[in-house]
Amino acid sequence: MADPRALGRMVDYAEIEPGDTVLEIGAGDGRLTLRLARRAARVVAIERDPRLAGHLRDHAPPNVEVIGGDARRVPWPPFQRVVSNLPYSATSPLLFRILRSPFRAAVLTVQKEFAERMVATPRTPGYSRLSVMAQHHARVRWMETLPPEAFTPPPRVHSAIVHLQPREPPYTVEDPGLFERLVRDLFGQRRKTLRSSLRNHGYPTRGVPHLERRPEELGPAQLAEVANTLCHLPRGT
């Protein structure tokens, strides 16, 4: 991102506290990194490009730690906040890794279409596994839309800044692993009814609610209801 005003707003949205460690993924030439370093106690900047990572190490202030490597694979130290322009080619796996980590807030720039899926609701075209899991783990707010001209070089798409605030969902999930697998499996066949999709994936169906509905019609709480029912059913029933 090259727009200094947009970079400043990203930092403001994060509401960084003096003792915070901030994780930045895809630090690039450090334009955002240096702004974060003025607010945070520590910044952990991950950059895949060895040339850019080396440049950042040479010019960053002492409270910035630069990690060279692919953010999908390198270990992440503990952090309180994430402020990042996520690489568009790896946005989905990086977001899911963030959601599974303990954090206080995340401010992320993503492709506009990706942001639309994050905030989508049931029965809308963008509603997907991403929508369910993002909203299950966090309160997701669309902060602003950015034109291609905010970046160097400008991409062919518009972008959006989103804010994630972790929260406990207003419903119970008895087996988080089962819930996540179920959501993945059901949205892999989003146009099929639950009855058909559950059978195709070897899940039981006896006593399961919403069997004649499609996954794209069900909110996270209803999908949790399905997962909680499956917790108490043996396979093959």
Task: Write out pLDDT tens, residues 126-179.
Answer: 999 999 999 999 999 999 999 999 999 999 999 999 999 999 999 999 999 999
Given this model, what pLDDT does residue 234 score? Answer: 81
Asked whether residue 115 falls in the same domain as residue 93, the answer is yes
pTM check: above 0.75: yes
Does residue 27 have a pLDDT over 70? yes
Range of the domain at 33: 4-166
Give the burial class of 171: count Cβ atoms within 10 A of its Cβ; 0-12 exposed, 13-18 middle, 19 or more buried: middle
Amino acid at residue number 225: E
194-217: pLDDT as tens digits: 999 999 999 999 999 999 999 999
Same domain (yes/no): 161, 102: yes
Q: What is the pLDDT of residue 55?
A: 95
Give the model's pLDDT for residue 107. 98
Confidence band, pLDDT 50/70/90 cuts, at residue 237: low
Looking at the structure, do residues 76 and 114 belong to the same domain, yes or no?
A: yes
Residue 48 lies in a domain: yes
We report the CATH number of the domain holding residue 205 as 1.10.8
CATH number, residue 66: 3.40.50.150
Share above pLDDT 90 across residues of the chain, in percent, rounded to a whole number: 97
Question: Which backbone phi and psi does 79 adopt, to 5 degrees?
Answer: -150, 160
What pLDDT does residue 236 have? Answer: 57
pLDDT per residue over 110-132, tens digit each? 999 999 999 999 999 999 999 99
pLDDT surpasses 90 at 221: yes
Residue 48's pLDDT band, with cuts at 50, 70 and 90, is very high
- Domain membership of residue 77 (yes or no) is yes
Structure token digits, residue 73: 């694979």
202: burial class by Cβ within 10 Å (0-12, 13-18, 19+)?
Answer: exposed
Pairing of strands 81-85, 64-68: unpaired
With 0-12 CB in 10 A as exposed, 13-18 as middle and 19+ as buried, what is 53? buried
Same-domain pairing of 152 and 181:
no
